[in-house]
Structure 1
Amino acid sequence: MTTLPVRVGADRPDAGGAVGTPAPLPPKQRSRRTSFGTNQWVALAFVAPLIAYLVIFYAFPLYRNIELSLHDYTPRAFVQGNAAFVGIENYVAVFGSKTFPKALANTALFTIVSIAFQFGIGLILAVFFRNNFRLNGVLRGLFLVPWLLPLIVSASTWSSMMNSDNGVINSALAVIGVAPVNWLTSPDLVLASVIIANIWLGIPFNLVVLYSGLQNIPEDLYEAASLDGANAWQKFWRITFPLLRPVSLITILLGLIYTLKVVDIIWIMTAGGPGDSSTTLATWSYREAFGTGNPDFSPAAAVGNVLILIALIFGFIYLRIQNRTEK
C-alpha cells in the first residue's frame, strides 16, 4: 500500500488556511512585498532631479551641438530651422583649415604650460602654508583674490599692465634700462603673455585643493620621519607627494578641462591675434560663432565637439590611472 507525502502545515485547516491551499505569509513579509513598488517610486523621486539636470544641461546641449555640426546653419536657417544636412563636411572643413594646426598647437602649449606652472606653484604654496605661523590665514586669503575677481576684470587688468606704451610692466622695465616689450602685439610673445595671465588666475584653485589634501595626511608620519633623520625634501618626496597623488590627479584633470575651454582671458587680451598667434580651439570656436559679425554656427559647433572629444579622452585616461592606483 502506497502512502502519499503530507506537507506539514500547508494542508491543515488549523495552520491558517483550507486544505490544499498554502499558508498565508507572515505580516513582515507581506509588508515588504506590498511596499516594494512604493520604495521604487520613492527612489526614483530622489533620482529624478539629478536625471533632469543631466538631460537638460548635458545631454540636450551635447545633442544640439552635434546636430549643429552636421547641418549648415546660417543665421536665417538657425531662426527658421530649415538648415540643410551636410554630414561631416563641417569637420572636413575644420581639419582642412589652415587655422586648425596653429590653433591645436597653441591649445596644447597653452594648456600644458599653464597646468604645469599652476600645479607646481600651487603645490609649493600649499606645502608652505601647511606650517602654522602668524598671518597664515591672511596670506592664504590674499592668494584667493585672483580666483574671486570676475574674469573680465582680471583680463582687462592684465591687458592694461601689458600695454606696450603705458603699461606698468614696461614702465618697471624702463626703470632698469630695458626697452619696451610688445607683449600683446608681437606674434612671438603674445601667447606667452596670455599664458602668464592664465597661470596667475589658476594658482588659487590649485592652492585650495592641494592644501585641503595636505590636511588629510597624518602629522604622525612626519614626526616619525623626523625621528629617523629625514630632511624636508625626503619628507616631501617619501610622504607628501605619494599620499597627495589622488588629489593631485583630480586637480590636474579639472585644471586641464578648464584650461582647454578658456576663452574670456584670451579674447579680452588679444582676441586670438595678432593673426592666429594666440588662437586656441576654444577662441576659434567662439570667433566663428560670435566674433566676426557673420555667425557661422556649424563650423563653430564642429570645433567645440573636437574640444569635447579631447576632454573625454583625458577623462578616460584619468579613470584608467585611478583604477590602476586603486588595484
Structure 2
Amino acid sequence: MTSSPAAVGTASSAAGVAARRSAAPAGPRPPRRSTPSTQWAAVAFAAPLIVYLVVFYAYPLFRNIELSVHDYTIRAFVQGDAEFIGFEKYADVFASSAFPTALVNTALFTFVSIAFQYTIGLALAVFFQKSFRLSGVLRGMFLVPWLLPLIVSASTWSWMLNSDSGIINSVLQSFGIGQINWLTSPDFALTSVIIANIWLGIPFNLVILYSGLQNIPGELYEAASLDGATGWQQFWRITFPLLRPVSAITILLGLIYTLKVVDVIWIMTTGGPGNVSTTLAVWSYREAFGTGQPAFSPAAAVGNLLILIALVFGFVYLYLQRRQEES
C-alpha cells in the first residue's frame, strides 16, 4: 500500500519538530503566572489568619503600648483624653522599690519551675517509653493537673498548704515537725507557689517529650544494647541528643507560659506577704485590677517589659536553632 505525498510531508514535518524538541537544551520551565482568581483565593484563605492576628495580637499590643505612654486614670480612660507622658511610667517602674524584688522573684519562679518541670517530665517520659500494663492509665492520670482549671488547682494547693487545717502540715506533724506557715511566711511563700506551678507544668512536659521519644528509631537502642551500652549510656548518647530539638521548644514554651503566670500566685498568696511572692506578671495585674484604684499605665508598662523579655528569649531560640541547622 503506497502513501500519498501529503501524508509523507506531514510525517516528515512532525519528525522534524520532534527532532528539534529533543535537540533543544532542557531547562527550568518559566514560572506560571498566577491568575487573578488564584490570587483572590490565596487572599481568601489568608484573610481569617490575618484578621485573627490583627484583632488578638497587633491591636492589643498597640493598645498596651498606647496605655503605657499616656497617663490613664479612670476618668481619662472613660473620656479618652489621657495626657501623653512618654516613658515616664517606665521610669517610675524602674525606680520603684518593688521592681528589684519582682524581677528576682520572676527569675526564680520561672527558672526553678522550668528546671523541675522539664527534669521530672523527661524522667516520666523515659519511664513510660517502655510499654507495660496500665501504662496508658497512669499516663492519663498524670494529665489530670493539666486538665483541671487553674483556679481549681490553685485553690486545692491553698487548702493543702493551709497553716491550720492543711493536709501537708498534718502529715509533717505526724513526723514531729512543727507547723509551717507555707502561704503567710516570707520564707516559704515563694517556695509554695513554685511547688504548685511545678506540679501544674509536669504534664505538659511529659506529653511533648513523650511524643518526641516516639520518633527515635528503636533500632538505635538495639544496636547500642548489642554493643554493650548500659541504660544510662543509651540515654546520654542517644535519647538526650536526639531529643534536643523537642526539648528546646518545650523549654521555650514553658518559659513563655511561666513568665505570665498570675492566677496561681494570686489565688494562693496574692503576691504576699508584702512583695515576697510578687512577680512582674502579678505586679502588673495588681496595679490594674488588684486595688480599688486601677493604675492602667504602670500596669501596661510592666506588661510591656514582660513582652520584651519573652521576645528576647524567642530570638535567642531562633538564633540557636539557625546555628544548629547551619552546623
- Whether these two folds match at TM > 0.5 is yes
Counting only pairs closer than 5 Å after superposition, residues 44-193 of structure 1 correspond to structure 2 as: 44-193=43-192
Q: What one-letter code is carried by the residue in structure 1 that aligns with 2:106? A: T
Number of equivalences = 296
Q: What one-letter code is carried by the residue in structure 1 that aligns with 2:84? A: F
Q: Distance in 1 between matches of 2:306 and 2:88?
A: 18
Aligned to 1:24: none
**Alignment partner of 2:232: what SS?**
helix
Q: 1:18-76, CA deviations, whole angstroms, 9 ceiling, x for partnerless residues?
A: xxxxxxxxxxx9xx65x622211111111111111111110000000000000000011
Aligned to 1:10: none
Aligned to 1:222: 221
Residue 199 of structure 2 corresponds to residue 200 of structure 1: yes
**Alignment partner of 2:209: what SS?**
helix
Of the structure 1 ranges 41-50 and 208-217, higher mean CA displacement relative to structure 2 is found in 41-50
- How far 1:106 sits from its partner (Å)? 0.1
Aligned to 1:13: none
Q: Distance in 2 between matches of 1:76 and 1:144?
A: 46
Of the structure 1 ranges 129-138 and 40-49, higher mean CA displacement relative to structure 2 is found in 40-49
TM-score normalised by L of structure 2: 0.89
Q: 1:131-173, CA deviations, whole angstroms, 9 ceiling, x for partnerless residues?
A: 0100000000000000000000000000010011111000001
Aligned to 1:305: 304
Q: Distance in 1 between matches of 2:38 and 2:170?
A: 70
Q: Distance in 1 between matches of 2:151 and 2:114?
A: 21
Q: Distance in 2 between matches of 1:142 and 1:102?
A: 37
- How far 1:222 sits from its partner (Å)? 0.2
Q: Distance in 2 between matches of 1:236 and 1:142?
A: 25
Q: What one-letter code is carried by the residue in structure 1 that aligns with 2:285? A: Y
Q: 1:283-318, CA deviations, whole angstroms, 9 ceiling, x for partnerless residues?
A: 000000000110000000000000000000000000
Q: What one-letter code is carried by the residue in structure 2 that aligns with 1:56? A: V
Q: Distance in 1 between matches of 2:123 and 2:245?
A: 17
Aligned to 1:294: 293
Aligned to 1:4: none
Unaligned runs of 5+ in 2: 1-28
**Alignment partner of 1:186: what SS?**
coil
- How far 1:277 sits from its partner (Å)? 0.2
Q: 1:219-252, CA deviations, whole angstroms, 9 ceiling, x for partnerless residues?
A: 0000000000000000000000000000000000
Q: 1:253-298, CA deviations, whole angstroms, 9 ceiling, x for partnerless residues?
A: 0000000000000000000000000000000000000001100000
Q: Distance in 1 between matches of 2:170 and 2:154?
A: 19
Q: Distance in 1 between matches of 2:105 and 2:190?
A: 8
Q: Distance in 2 between matches of 1:202 and 1:298?
A: 31
Q: Distance in 2 between matches of 1:39 and 1:105?
A: 53
Aligned to 2:256: 257
Identical positions, percent: 76
TM-score normalised by L of structure 1: 0.89
**Alignment partner of 1:155: what SS?**
helix
Q: Distance in 2 between matches of 1:321 and 1:70?
A: 34
Q: Distance in 2 between matches of 1:51 and 1:123?
A: 36
- How far 1:93 sits from its partner (Å)? 0.3
Aligned to 1:244: 243
Q: 1:100-145, CA deviations, whole angstroms, 9 ceiling, x for partnerless residues?
A: 0000000000000000000000000000000010000000000000
Q: Distance in 1 between matches of 2:86 and 2:140?
A: 51
Q: Distance in 2 between matches of 1:213 and 1:293?
A: 48
RMSD, matched Cα: 1.0
Q: 1:156-201, CA deviations, whole angstroms, 9 ceiling, x for partnerless residues?
A: 0000100111110000011111001010111011000000000000
- How far 1:97 sits from its partner (Å)? 0.3
Unaligned runs of 5+ in 1: 1-28
Segments of 4+ in structure 1 off by > 2 A?
none
Q: Distance in 2 between matches of 1:178 and 1:306?
A: 42
Q: Distance in 2 between matches of 1:152 and 1:57?
A: 24
Q: What one-letter code is carried by the residue in structure 2 that aligns with 1:75? A: I
**Alignment partner of 2:276: what SS?**
coil
Q: Distance in 1 between matches of 2:81 and 2:150?
A: 37
Q: What one-letter code is carried by the residue in structure 2 that aligns with 1:202? A: G
